Amino acid sequence: MLDTVREVLGPWYLYIKTLHLLAVMAWVWSTSVAYAFYLVPIFKAWRRNPRDPEIVRARNWAIERFDEGATYEHIAFPVILVTGPLLYVLGGWSTSVGWLVLKLLIVFGIFLPIEIMDYYLSHGPGNKGRLRAAGNGEGYEIAIHRHWWFLLVSSPVVMVFAFAIVVLAVLRPI
Amino acid sequence: MNDHRDNSGERDEPDVLAHARPFSGTPARYRRISIVVSIAIHGYLYLGMLFFHGYLGGAEWVFGWKPAVFALVSCVVFARQAFRWIMRLDAQYGSGAGWSLPTRSVKLPEPRQRDR
């Protein structure tokens, strides 16, 4: 099975690597501007003024747009999950390569659960636009609180370990 | 020509505060979460490296004291920084004095609900 994969896709190694890198770029950076310059300032304002209806309106609009804005990231991530292991197989890599093992541990053990949760919050039952359209006001508010919890807890993890992934892949320190 | 004044996508939100509730995050919870998350991540990565790179990959260096010390130090630093990061993100630090909150009347672009 793996031999067949190597034989068929081996000549395409660099093309797959290009696709992998493009997907990594989209995954890492596609939500960064919306997050840093729109979402976080509005959510900080909401946390300081939780009963201000104008800020709550801005918060609601921003998080609904952010749900949609995460689409690029969430298309890119499955591409990474497919192309990454393909490169591992085609490149003849093994567990004796330290930087690669650590990188894969980070992707599959840390980022995969985070992204599954993110899919749920942005496009699944936690999608705020659909909750609003369904008239589920209480569920809408709960979903926003849950999303903010997710962003609070995941932000330091994502920033540090996304950076670590790039450092491991490029500098290969171990 | 498109009519950009079309209001058919207008939000149906009679009272945005009708379901408002206090956010459940507190500094004590953030501290606890930062510590637990840091220990879980570093423990997982350290043990993962021992098994995959050390045991399966035959790398002896991962069994030495240096990776263990590095993981421990990184765990402590990450827990501390993650806590501070979360506190800043959740507006628990600072007064917000660097921002003003001017009132504006705006129209927000909304996607139309499409029949599937």
Nearest CA in chain A to B67: A174
Q: What is the pLDDT of residues A120-140, one digit of tens each?
A: 999 999 999 999 999 999 999
Note whether B81 contacts A: Cβ–Cβ < 8 A.
yes
**Nearest CB to B48 within list A51, A68, A105:** A105
Q: Which amino acid type is present at position B86?
A: I
The span from the CA of B80 to the CA of B63, in Å, is 26
Do A86 and B43 meet the contact criterion of CB atoms below 8 Å apart?
A: no
Q: Between chains, do A109 and B45 touch, taking CB under 8 Å as contact?
A: yes
Residues for chain B: how many in total?
A: 116
- Report ipTM for this prediction: 0.91
Residue B1: pLDDT over 60: no
Map tokens 């508010």 to a residue: A141
- What's residue B112's pLDDT? 80
pTM of the predicted model as reported, rounded to 2 decimal places: 0.91
Which among B42, B36, B51 has a CA at the least distance from the CA of B83? B36
Note whether B10 contacts A: Cβ–Cβ < 8 A.
no
- What's residue A3's pLDDT? 86
Which among A109, A52, A55, A112 has a CA at the least distance from the CA of A81? A112
Tell me the pLDDT band of B116, cut-offs 50, 70 and 90.
Answer: low
Tell me the pLDDT band of A82, cut-offs 50, 70 and 90.
Answer: very high
Q: What is the pLDDT of residues A25-48, one digit of tens each?
A: 999 999 999 999 999 999 999 999
List the helix and strand counts (H, then E) for chain A. 10, 0
Tell me the pLDDT band of A117, cut-offs 50, 70 and 90.
Answer: very high
